[in-house]
Every structure is written in C-alpha cells, then in structure tokens.
Structure 1
Amino acid sequence: MNLPNLENGIDPEDFEILVAQARKASDMLKALSHEVRLLILCLLSEGEKTVSELEDILTMPQAAVSQQLARLRNDGLVASRRDGRMIYYSLVGGEVHTIISSLYDLFCKEVRPAEG
C-alpha cells in the first residue's frame, strides 16, 4: 500500500495504525457476513447461552451450531466456559458487543421481546 504524502498532514506511523485498524474491522465484518454466525451473535447479545439453547432456538443440528461457534471463537468474537458437561458461550470484547447491540436494536428487537 502506498504511504500518503506528509504534506497532506498524515504521519506515516498514524497511517499504518489506520491500516491495521481497517484490517481488524474488515476481518470482523467477514465473520459477521455469515447469516448463521450473525444470528448466533445476536442471540448471545441477549446473554450467555449454551450450545443446546442455541440449537433449540436456531432449530439446527448440534454439529452445524458448533461449527459456527468454533469459527466465532477462532475470530475472537465469542468465548466459551465449561460448567460440568455444559458449555456456555458469550460475546467477547467491546467492539463486537457494540456492533451486535446496534444490529440487534435495528433488526432483532421487535422479534425478540425482552425476558422478565
């Protein structure tokens, strides 16, 4: 990638940081571009869920849900914790939570009434 001219007021170090941040955003958007992964993230924005809970909501086989959760975990968007035989998943990081919360408010809120 060509570095900008310093006469434009952009420091080359700042530009490299900007490029790295753009790459990070692009990687996150690639992970979000899959319909099932995005749906899982929206469901996890409601709170921690087990694989079984996600299977029931998504009406998908365990293998398919686990495959998408593995991709999300590899991308650093979800974390898992084990409690006995149960594995719980939750969102990781402020960036993903902010993006998913906004998408949830725009597209899911009307369909998924608040519990309680």
Structure 2
Amino acid sequence: MYQEIQHFKSDFFKALAHPMRIRILEALAEGDKNVNELQTILGSEGSAVSQQLSVLRSKNVVYGKKDGTSVIYTLTDPQIKELLVVAKQIFDNHLVNTISILENIKNQ
C-alpha cells in the first residue's frame, strides 16, 4: 500500500514537471479557462498548450468539460492551488537563503 502511495506521488509530481504545465495550473488556479484563453495567457501556440493539457488530464490533475464547441478546463482538486502557493514559498525561502549566503560572501 505504501509503495502505491509513493508511486501515485511520483506520477503526480511528474505531471507537474514542466514549466508550461505549471503555468497552466497557475492560470487555472485563478479560474476555469478554455484553450484559447490559456493560449493568450501563456503566449503560446494551441498545439503546445493542448499537448500539456493532455498530460495533465492523463494524470488527473485537470479535467475538461465540453461547452459548445470549446472545452473548459478546471483543476481536479482545489488543493492544487495550495500546493502551488507552498511551492512558491519553498522557492522564496531558498532564494532568501541564497541571497543571504551571497551577501555573507560579499562582506567577507
């Protein structure tokens, strides 16, 4: 059972392991969007956005709901927003630590 959970976590983080997928998730954290809206926000071609959405759908991170001729994408779990916030906080902490180290080196 424990190995299954580790495998799930590994697959989940692999789904996040691409800059465009992170940007898509950040955009969807602000609200549901269709591919055209995501293209505009990301400044990227539809095929690239669609490809990354496909990866996120296959890992059950986002899902799409048909709305007329377009598909509206949403996060499968609202806690993904919290995960993105925590990831940014971790990054900020590392950045602060790096800056402190550089300042100490500079002042020596």
- Separation in 1, partners of 2:76, 2:60: 7
Structure-to-structure mapping, 1:91-102, within 5 angstroms: 91-93=75-77, 96-102=80-86
- Separation in 2, partners of 1:97, 1:22: 21
The question of 1:18 aligning with 2:11 is answered no
**Deviation string for 1:9-56 (max 9, x for gaps)?**
xxxxxxxx2221111111111111111111101111111011111000
Residue identity matched to 2:74: S
Structure-to-structure mapping, 1:1-116, within 5 angstroms: 17-93=1-77, 96-103=80-87
Taking structure 1 as the reference length, what is the TM-score of the superposition?
0.69
Give 5+ residue unaligned stretches, structure 1: 1-16, 108-116
Of Structure 1 and Structure 2, which has the larger fraction of its residues in helix? 2
Q: Percent identity?
A: 35
RMSD: 2.0
CA drift at 1:96: 3.3
Q: 1:35 to 1:72 in 2, by over 3 A?
A: same
CA drift at 1:58: 0.7
- Separation in 2, partners of 1:45, 1:51: 15
Moved over 4 A (4+): 104-107
Q: Count how many residue pairs are aligned between Structure 1 and Structure 2.
A: 91
Task: Indicate the larger mover: 73-82 or 85-94.
Answer: 85-94
Give 5+ residue unaligned stretches, structure 2: 92-108
